[in-house]
Amino acid sequence: MGSFDHNPIIEMRNIEKHFGPVIALNGVSFDVRPGECHCLLGDNGAGKSTFIKTMAGVHKPTKGEILFEGRQMSFDSPRDAMEAGIATVYQDLAMIPLMSVTRNFWMGREPVKRFGPLMFMDFKTANEVTMSEMRKMGINLRSPDQAVGTLSGGERQTVAIARAVHFGAKVLILDEPTSALGVRQTANVLSTIDKVRKTGIGIVFITHNVRHALAVGDRFTVLNRGKTLGTAQRGQITPEELQDLMAGGQEMVALEGSLGGTV
Amino acid sequence: MKAALKTIAVSAVAATALLGASSAMAEGERYVLVSHAPDSDSWWNTIKNGLALAGEQMDVTVEYRNPPTGDLADMARIIEQAAASGPNGIITTLADPDVLSGPIRAAVDAGIDVIIINSGTPEQARDLGALMYVGQPEYDAGFAAGQRAAGDGVSSFLCVNHYISSPSSTERCQGFADGLGVDLGNQMIDSGQDPSEIQNRVMAYLNANPDTDAVLTLGPTSADPTILALQQIGLAGDIYFGTFDLGGDIVQAIRDGVIQWGIDQQPFLQAYLPVIVLTNYHRFGVLPGNNINSGPGFVTADALDLVADLAGEYR
Amino acid sequence: MSSTGVVVDERIKETSKLRQALIRPELGAIVGTIAVFAFFIVFAGDSGMFNAQGVLNWSTVSAQFVIIAVGACMLMIAGEFDLSVGSMIGFAGMSIAIISVTLQWPVWIAILLTFALCIAVGALNGFIVVRTGLPSFIVTLAFLFILRGFTIFFPQLIERRTIIGGISEKAAGDWLAPVFGGKVGGSFFNWLAEMELIAVFERGTRAGEPIVNGIPMLIIWALGLMIIAHVVLTRTRFGNWIFAAGGDAQAARYVGVPVDRVKIQMFMFTAFCACVFATCQVMEFGSAGADRGLLKEFEAIIAVVIGGALLTGGYGSVIGAALGALIFGVVQQGLFFAGVESSLFRVFLGVILLFAVILNTYIRRIITGER
């Protein structure tokens, strides 16, 4: 794993986020290096969503600092974070089902041909790039005009990932990309993650499924009640330990015993 | 001898006209009546019935058209459309000369005979090249009513205007005010067309202005809820109440003494007579020499029975 | 697991050409248009509906619908409604009348000021909707009443009337008025009349002139707006943003589409279209009335829905909406020529609307693969 030779692309230090009286994040540190898949695990309500939204520029941290490629950064909007190279694929808000794959792929960054003041969308280029990027990810589209609604859940995630990669993401945040998928589609998405990692992009993979995390992850950070419980390297931790960390303790061990296996 | 010659000449002219007419037009003429009334205005039912009856009696085809929302620009299109379908004659109201004069003049110029009914004035009808005007001049009717009310000791009033966007409605109120010899000012309210809204607005106005001597409504749409409003606040029969036009409830209210008089413009005639006039003109070349005033006539508690029987149908 | 290769799901059937044609938003409207014309050619072919005057009549009415339907269509695709269109028509007309007749300012200033005013109201509509997050239904319903109220109140206050006329006299010689109220192609129609292809006036001051003496600018506006809107929607970057804003505003925001700006601009465009409608009407008829444009907002929305747009936004077609408007206009005028009682028009309208919505829902299911 050569990724540890590099400096982190993004480093979040002691991030705190308060919503009024509620402390959603209470000192979270986290970093991603090029070409690694850093899994962020945690049970529902652990603060994963708040944390990645902070990284993606949706929320501003109450305390703590964000270093991007070694420099301190403050993102005012998702657009800012995106310009810097932080792309986020949200679980269900990634795609617009009624629009074609091409229109979705290029949404917000349409290629244009200028005729005087008019900016026409360059559909020829757009379609070609879309088809070829999707092919790279292993999906053969029937046609770039195909509506995203006709794609399976895994394919939609893949379109979103391909889109982020194409637009030069340095860090790709995947918010529970596998949680709503079947076994086979999950495998497809995990293999897509693997392909993307090999191109040198740092991936933040949010999940609460230990097995999915262990399948592709290089490092694992567990969040619980707004705090980091620690980070482990691949091979240094067993699925059971990870599961315990996530559930936050002893009750889970007891429960597990009575259920006779990994939950 | 001279008289005999004259008779011969006249008959010759009539015969020529007859020949000309009958060679151009076969039996079964087609006439289209275009009104400005929205669908919700029940008063126009009398017009429809009068039209249908005349069509039946004269053995001609008659059609009734109106803009569903009362939008006069839509009405202009309906007149253009009627002209395009090439009828023998068009009978239309002239609710707004600015909007309607273009299409009406075009129809006249295209060779279609037009009679103006109900709204508008004889002068406007003549300007447009229409054959005649059949109706009740609105301002004059309002003025006459105002004078009558003044004679009965009225000096302030409420005009319930349910069709504020039509200038002729406002003219009725204005005429009434001028007939009374007072300023219209704020005595006219825009009541809208919804019965319960009208009722509540009338009650609100009368509560706020307890000195009001009289109420004037402009037709069944505003009169029926106003009757209810007066009953509710105990002024029915107490306050002086006059209305334009007739309808079932209005007739009953006149009988009960709630309404002093109704101004009957006899809409039946406005639909019936033009069809008769046009048909005879097209068949025999005969045409009355002047406009026809279908109203105003004041309907009071005396001689109400016939009106009551036919109210809403032919009256 | 790293080499899954090409992902092909053998359970996804190849869609047939027919199914592919079905998911074009315009399809329903195209079929409807053909059906409507076929119907009227059979039942009203010799009634005058298809002579020059008749054609002009239903095309003018349809063009009116097209103008407001184009605006409503773009806005609906962007995910919003504007129920204040009808009131805006009345309001704009009255504004032109008051400025030009009452204030005695030149007509071109009246027109330009009115456009500015209407677009500002459109922007306000949009601003309130995006700022408060309230449904546009409610916000624009409020403006339906506000604008209609002003339209009745101001002329009554100023002129003690609810109809202001005399604009034609004021507009004579104005440079901007003919852009809305003029006619084009007069010499062509004169030629047609000489060739005895169309009828001429038999009497009056215009005897000998052709009954149809030009194509009203209203129709030119309708065609122009339709073409521009269609190109913008389907061929430009901004068009993609309109689809995105209506398809899923949140998803669009995440990828950096300025959703709020797009929506506000669409509200402004809808107001612009309503103002074009009103200006053409005022210039043609020479007067403005407080009752102008009643219920036009619903007619616009109905035309858009017949044209295949989804009420929920994100999907639709300007061409479809224009065809929907054509169906609307042709049926409304055609039932008269076919000798059908005019009140039945509403029955027909309800039926066709229901069919259109059911068809649209079916189309959406095909597209999104919902069951």
C74 CB neighbour count, 10 Å cutoff = 30
Nearest to C226 by CA among C308, C97, C324: C324
Residues of C in Cβ contact (< 8 Å) with A82: 255-256
Nearest to C1 by CA among A215, A34, A37, B102: A215
Question: In chain A, where do the E strands start and end?
Answer: 10-19, 22-32, 37-41, 63-68, 71-73, 86-89, 112-115, 118-121, 171-175, 202-207, 219-224, 227-233
Residue labelled with tokens 């990828």? C255
> CATH number, domain at B25?
3.40.50.2300
State whether A121 and C235 contact (CB < 8 Å).
Answer: yes
Residue labelled with tokens 């409807």? C32
Under a CB-based contact definition with an 8 Å cutoff, are residues A9 and A202 in contact? Answer: yes
Is residue B301 included in any domain, yes or no? no
The number of domains in chain A is 1
Is residue A43 included in any domain, yes or no? yes
Helix, coil or strand: residue A255: helix
Distance of alpha carbon C126 from the chain centroid: 19
Helix, coil or strand: residue B263: strand
Is residue A59 included in any domain, yes or no? yes
Is residue B285 included in any domain, yes or no? yes
pLDDT surpasses 80 at B75: yes
Give yes or no: residues B28 and B68 share one domain.
yes
pLDDT surpasses 60 at B20: no
Range of the domain at A176: 2-96+169-238
Is residue A20 included in any domain, yes or no? yes
Give yes or no: residues B242 and B291 share one domain.
no
Nearest to C20 by CA among A147, A159, A128, A135: A147
pLDDT surpasses 80 at C80: yes
Higher-confidence residue of A77 and B31: namely B31
Is residue A26 included in any domain, yes or no? yes
The stretch A171-187 carries a mean pLDDT of 86
Q: Which of B203-212, C21-30, C186-195, C307-316 has the lowest mean pLDDT?
A: C21-30
Confidence of residue B259 (pLDDT cuts 50, 70, 90): very high
Give yes or no: residues B142 and B130 share one domain.
no
Residues 6+ apart with CB under 8 A from C276: C67, C180, C221, C225
Average pLDDT, chain C: 86
Q: Could you tell me the domains of chain C?
A: 28-37+47-368 (1.10.3470)
Percentage of chain B lying above the pLDDT 90 cut? 41
Is residue B93 included in any domain, yes or no? yes
Under a CB-based contact definition with an 8 Å cutoff, are residues B27 and B87 in contact? Answer: no
Is residue A164 included in any domain, yes or no? no
User: Residue A93 is nearest to which of C7, C236, C251, comparing CB atoms?
Assistant: C251
Is residue A154 included in any domain, yes or no? no
Residue labelled with tokens 């067309």? B193
Give yes or no: residues B6 and B119 share one domain.
yes
Is residue A176 included in any domain, yes or no? yes
Give yes or no: residues B51 and B160 share one domain.
no
State whether C248 and A96 contact (CB < 8 Å).
Answer: yes
- pLDDT, one tens digit per residue, over B260-281 is 999 888 889 999 999 999 999 9
State whether A149 and C368 contact (CB < 8 Å).
Answer: yes
Is residue B303 included in any domain, yes or no? no
Helix, coil or strand: residue C103: coil
Give yes or no: residues B239 and B281 share one domain.
no
Under a CB-based contact definition with an 8 Å cutoff, are residues B146 and B179 in contact? Answer: yes
C203 CB neighbour count, 10 Å cutoff = 12
Q: Is B167 on the interface with C (CB under 8 A)?
A: yes
State whether B69 and C295 contact (CB < 8 Å).
Answer: yes
Q: Which of B71, B78, B173, B187 has the highest number of chain C CBs within 10 A, making it the mutation to test binding with C? A: B71
Higher-confidence residue of C146 and B1: namely C146
User: Could you tell me the CA-to-CA distances from B47 to B53, B61, B117 in Å, in that order?
Assistant: 10, 15, 11
The stretch C97-111 carries a mean pLDDT of 93
Q: Closest residue of C to A119, CA-based?
A: C236
> CATH number, domain at A76?
3.40.50.300
Interface pTM, i.e. ipTM? 0.81
Helix, coil or strand: residue A76: coil
Range of the domain at B29: 2-135+269-295
Is residue A119 included in any domain, yes or no? no
Check residue C14 and give its pLDDT. Answer: 53
pLDDT surpasses 90 at A227: no
Higher-confidence residue of A171 and C365: namely A171
User: Could you tell me the CA-to-CA distances from A22 to A26, A42, A224, A246 in Å, in that order?
Assistant: 10, 18, 15, 21
Quote the tokens at residue C56. Answer: 């002009």
Give yes or no: residues B278 and B130 share one domain.
yes
pLDDT surpasses 60 at B49: yes
- pLDDT, one tens digit per residue, over B84-136 is 888 999 999 998 888 899 999 999 998 899 999 988 888 899 999 999 999 88
- pLDDT, one tens digit per residue, over B172-223 is 999 999 999 998 888 888 888 888 888 888 988 988 888 999 999 998 889 9
Nearest to B164 by CA among C167, C282, C151, C278: C151
pTM, to two decimals: 0.80
Q: Is C5 on the interface with A (CB under 8 A)?
A: yes
Interface of C with A in 241-270 (CB under 8 A): 241, 243-244, 247-248, 250-257
Residues of B in Cβ contact (< 8 Å) with C346: 68
Quote the tokens at residue C183. Answer: 């006619």
The number of domains in chain B is 2
What distance in Å separates the CA atoms of residue C263 and residue C81, rounded to the nearest whole number?
10
- pLDDT, one tens digit per residue, over C289-331 is 888 888 899 989 999 998 888 888 999 999 999 999 999 888 8
